[in-house]
Structure formats: structure tokens, C-alpha cells
Structure 1
Amino acid sequence: MKIPFRFIASRVVFYLFTAWAAITINFFLPRMMKGDPVTAYMQKQAGRITPEAEHALRILFGLDKDKSLGQQYLEYWQLLLNGDLGRSFSNGLAPVGDVIASALPWTLGLVGIATVVSFTLGTATGAIIGWRRGSRADVIVPITTFFSTVPYFWLGLIAIAVFSSILGWFPASHAYGKGSSPEFTLDFIGQVVAHGALPAITIVVASLGGWILGMRNMMLTVLDEDYITVAQAKGLPNGRVLWRYAARNAMLPQLSSFALSIGFIVGGTIVMEMVFSYPGVGKMLLDATTAKDYPLMQGLFLIITMAVLCANIIADIAYAILDPRTRQTEA
């Protein structure tokens, strides 16, 4: 199997342009807002910042009024290429990259695993339900769809009330026990698993219905295709027809949705992290917005945007591998 050069080149050009546009918007957006990070920081300090310190802060954050917007833009790119995302006002002027890095593993571990489990379980279940259309398995669709329509914060609060307060099976909040510090030990890993189980299960239950319904509907469309009839007429085993022919083609639209879900994993689930007081990127973004910490907001928006782009690149490659028509059309 060969993927045409024109297909690869067109994708590379498109995503490079998209990345440039996202970074450029990320540069201009704070400068279009009322005020700026340095002014907001000075207001919090209540006059304790001298004019010399203010000038130094403006240079540090690339907001030097003595330089033109074009010069600031070039310096912004230079800082990005050196991996410098600025300093966070709400975290004692700590590097934004370090602040994000402290929250990113929690979000990737929790939301990432829950998303992959939900997609895999939902796609496989939807394929089986679609294959056995008209059977008792169809009852799964309205049940899971109902849970998907329940507002997430209600689902989270109900889960905490039932499984934490009444049954006492899971901790109600935080990523690990109070008084503990992150360390690579079996006890700490056990705490992380116990604290992450309930929010992870809640995410899976809330998103499962969409994957099941989407895959089932695509399976119903694919099963009417001629190649499925031919495969069955040849006497191929039902399992092979289901997974090698029907499900493989039916899941193609699922990949696009999964790519977006994977990309937004980095952004976390803000409502979930608020309900469970989980120290992820979503809660950090909310805290940064509340504190008007523009550098941290910029860094988070940039990381989320790049994650979505990378996820879409992976989806395009997978799409081209699974469906030759895609790369032929692009070529």
C-alpha cells in the first residue's frame, strides 16, 4: 500500500497553515483584549511594582511598548521555538510550560484512558448491535443514549452521592489522598486509581451512547452494500464479514470524531474536573481565566490547539490506510 506524495504534501501544507494561523491568533488575541497581563498583575500588587519593574515585566512578557507589533510578533515566535511559553502570574511567575506540565499527566491519564475505553467499547458494541439488528440487543441504544443526554454535572453529582456518600466505594474528590505527595509507590498508585475510577467511569457512561449510536447507524448502512452480500454468499464466517468488511468500513466516520476527542483530551473535561476537584488542565484553564492569568491561558490554548491538530493528522493517516478512496481523491 502506497500513500501518494500529493496526498501527504496537501495534508502537510494544510496543517502547517492551520498551526501558523492558530499561533498567530494566540499572539493577537490577548493584545486585542482590554488591558494586558502586566497591567492586571500590577493592579493585584496594589502599587508595589515600581516603574522599572513594570518595564522589566513588559520586556519579559513581550509587551514592550518601545517595540512595534511586528517586532513583538517575531520575538513571540522566537520564544515559542525555544519552548518558552511565558510566565504565569497566578503561580508566582513560574514558567507556563512547567505549570502546564504539572497538570497535563493527570488529564491525559484520566480523560485519555476514559476516552479510549469509551470509544473502543462503544464502537465494538455498536457494530454488534448493528449486525444483529432487530434483536434484543437494540435495547442498549436507548439506555446508553439516555445517560448521554443527562447533564454531566448532574451525572457526576449523582455518582458521588451514590458511590461515595452512600456506598463508600470510591473517594469523592481529588486525585489522591490528603496529606500524600506524588511518588512512584504502590500505595500512591493505588490512591490515584481509587480517586480516578469514579470520574473515569462517569466519563465512559456519559459518552458511550454517542459511540454506540453512531457505529450502529453506520453498520445499518454498510450492511446493505453489495460487497457484504457477496462476502456472505462466498460462505465467509460471520465473524470475518462483521469485523473485516462491515465494521472496518462503518468505523471510518467514527475515526474523525475520535480524533477530535483525542485532541480535546488535553483540554480536559472542565465540568468533570470541577465536580470531582480533579487537578487537571481543564480546571487549570478555568482558574487561569478567573485569575486573568493571560500567559497561562495563552499557553493552554496553544497546547490544546496543537493537540487537536496532531490528533487530526493521525486520523487522516489512519483514514488513508483504511480507505484507499480517500488518498486517491486527494491525489
Structure 2
Amino acid sequence: MKYLLRKIVLYVFIAWAAITLNFLIPRLMPGDPVSILIENMEGRIDASARAALMEAYGLTDAPLYVQYWDYLTGLAQGDLGLSISYHPVPVADIAFGAMPWTLGLVGVTTIISFILGTGFGVLFAWWRGRKTDYVLPALTFLNAVPYFWMALILVLIFAINLDWFPYANAYGLGLFPGWNMEFVRSVLYHAILPALTIVIGSFAGWVLSMRNMTVTVLGEDYVSMAEAKGLRKSTILFTYGARNAILPSITGFALSLGAVVSGSMLTEVIFNYPGVGYTLFRAVQAQDFPLMQGLFLVTSLAVILANLIADIVYIFLDPRTRAEG
């Protein structure tokens, strides 16, 4: 389809631009990773070791286009450089080590929140004018509460005062990661409060946006025509109403999925959860520019991929996009 082909070409160009900026920005900034690393070592390093570090971090006197080609070649092989704060661990190992934690926590909770929020939003739109409208002010309040406030409130109530759940780390101290029931139970137990923070913090926004869009769609002429034909209420609500009202939410959901890779940073920081967001926070604290650069690139590519998936979903939901092809 022409529509999908145009989108793919557009996102390939955006991905190239993100990769190119990721290459240029560190080279335009003052200083370099080796100087920071040597400073952390209190300057105890000889000239040959410094030259080896410069080569390891790709800092050479070669022309910029040669460096750019070497950067693209390394990137194609999954080489994102070496970390400063975790030297000499590769950035790719750190990033992909943190990603499963973020995908497992933030990814799953974002999907759950979207499904519940859009579902209740459709129902609240259908039941508009009834007692369910009294819930809307509470949802508006929840939508206005920042993630970190929600996290702090849940920690204060359930972790400190009631002592029901742990408030830090992704699993119990003394446990080693592995596919065994003790470790899995510990991971699920430690994920309860962070998961509740994300679900409660984003659920209300999905409900309100989906309700407003569905109410607007249900007032359209083609919905009135469907009612005049005597179609079943469920058919009118889901086939004519929800299917068209959900289109703007799909875009928002794609952006949310893309942001999953960077994680809900404040939530991960508060709970010391070892995801991408917390790793990025630690990298900023340590001035670990290669790690920040790698995490920003992974996040950018994730957002691009999520938007491409959303455009593919659009093809199945909106006949107008198929007509363009």
C-alpha cells in the first residue's frame, strides 16, 4: 500500500536523522569521555594507556566522514560504545540488561492501563448522564496527579505505614536472577507498588480521552442512522462508536509504548527499579555520556518503531487509509 510505504520511508529517514544526531552531538560538546574517565582515576594514567582509551571510545583524528562510517558499522553490529561509570562494560550490555525490567514492568502496565481505560471510557460514554458521571471528577483529579506523587503516596501508605510491600529494588536481597519460583515470586512482589503507580497514574487519562471521543462520535449522523435502522446497541457502540473513537487513542498509545523503553523514570528512581529510566538517571549522575547517548538512541528508535506499528494498526481500523493505497 502506498500509505504504508510512505510511512516506512518517512520513519527510515527519521531513524537515520536520530542516528546522525546521536553521532554528532557528543562530538560537538566540549570535553570527551576519556578526559572524564581519567579525571575519575585522578589522572594516574600514562600516555600509551590514554591513547588506547581514545581508540576504544572511537576518538581519533580521522576525518568526520570516516568516523561516521565507523560509527554506522559499529552500530550495525550492536556496538554502542563503552560505558564510563561501568568501564569497560559495553553500553549495549547495560542497555539490553535494563530493558527487560522496563518492558516487563512499564510495558505490561501501560498495556493493561490502556485496555482498561479505553474499555471504561467507552462504557462511561454510553452511560453518560447517569450516576457514572459522578466518577469523572475523581478521574480528573487522578489524571492531574504526577507519577512521582502517586509513587510517594503509595510508598508512604503501603510500604512504610502498613509494611505490606517493599519500597525498593526489583527482587529480594540475596537472590540471584533465574527462572525459579522463589525469584519469580520476589520479582512479582516487588513490582506491585511500581505497577500500581503506573496503572493508577495513566488509567484516568485513557478513560477521560476515550469517553470524550466516544461521546463526540456517538453524536454523528451515521450513528443516528444506525440507530434508526434498529441495529443492536452493542453493534452501534463498538462497531460505529468505539472503533472510530479509538483512532486518536491509538496514536497516544503508540507514543506511550515508545516511552516505555525510557521507562517511567521517576517511578523507577523512587523504587530503585533497575530499568532503562533508572539506568539513564544513574548515567546522568555519573556524567556517563556514552551510556546516555546509547540509551537516548534506543529510546528514539523505540518511539519510531511504536509509531510505525500504530500506522499499521490504522490501516485495519480506518478504511480511508486503505483507500489511499
Q: How would you bin the TM-score normalised by the shorter chain?
A: over 0.9
Counterpart for residue 174 of structure 1: 169
Q: State the match for 1:63 in structure 2.
A: 59
The question of 1:121 aligning with 2:116 is answered yes
1:24 corresponds to which of 20, 31, 56: 20
- The separation in 2 between residues aligned to 1:145 and 1:202, in whole angstroms, is 16
Deviation at 1:32, TM superposition (A): 1.5
SS at match of 1:156: helix
1:87 has 2:105 as partner = no
* Aligned twin of 1:107: 102
Shift of 1:85: 0.8
TM-score normalised to the size of structure 2?
A: 0.97
| Aligned AA (2:48) | E
1:199 corresponds, among 194, 198, 205, to 194
Secondary structure at the aligned position of 2:273 is classed as coil
Q: State yes or no: 1:48 paired with 2:44.
A: yes
Cα-Cα RMSD: 1.2
CA shift, 1:68, in A, is: 1.3
Name the amino acid aligned to 2:320.
Answer: R
Counterpart amino acid of 1:178? L
Cα displacement (A) at 1:259 = 0.1
Task: Tell me which amino acid in the other structure corresponds to 1:53.
Answer: A
Deviations 1:154-180 (CA, angstroms, capped at 9, x unpaired): 211110111112222221111111111
Residue of structure 2 equivalent to 1:271: 266
On the 8 A contact 1:141/1:212 being kept in 2, the answer is no
Deviation track 1:229-249 (CA, whole Å, cap 9, x = no partner) reads 222222222112211220010
Alignment of 1:284 with 2:279, yes or no, is yes
Q: Deviations over 1:43-76 (max 9, x none)?
A: 1111222211211222222111x21111111110
Match of 1:237 among 220, 232, 242: 232
Note the residue ranges of structure 2 that are not aligned, 5 or more in a row. Answer: none
Corresponding position of 1:218: 213
SS at match of 1:108: helix
Shift of 1:328: 3.1
Q: Contact 1:273–1:283 (CA<8 Å) still a contact in 2? A: yes
SS of alignment partner, residue 262 of structure 2: coil
Q: Do the aligned residues in 1 keep the contact of 2:23 with 2:68 (CA within 8 Å)?
A: yes
Shift in Å at residue 92 of structure 1?
2.5
Q: Deviations over 1:16-40 (max 9, x none)?
A: 1100000000001111112011111
Q: Distance in 2 between matches of 1:80 and 1:327?
A: 35
- Give the whole-Å Cα distance in 2 for the aligned partners of 1:151 and 1:221: 28
Q: Distance in 1 between matches of 2:241 and 2:278?
A: 40
Kindly tell me the number of residue pairs found equivalent between the two proteins: 325
Distance 2:142 2:50 in 1: 52
The one-letter amino acid paired with 2:296 is: F
Shift, 1:8, TM fit = 2.3
Measured in 2, the distance between the counterparts of 1:324 and 1:58 equals 55
Tell me how far apart the structure 1 counterparts of residues 186 and 232 of structure 2 sit (CA, whole Å). 45
Which stretch shifts more, 296-305 or 167-176? Answer: 167-176
Is contact 2:143-2:202 (8 Å) kept? yes
Aligned to 2:137: 142
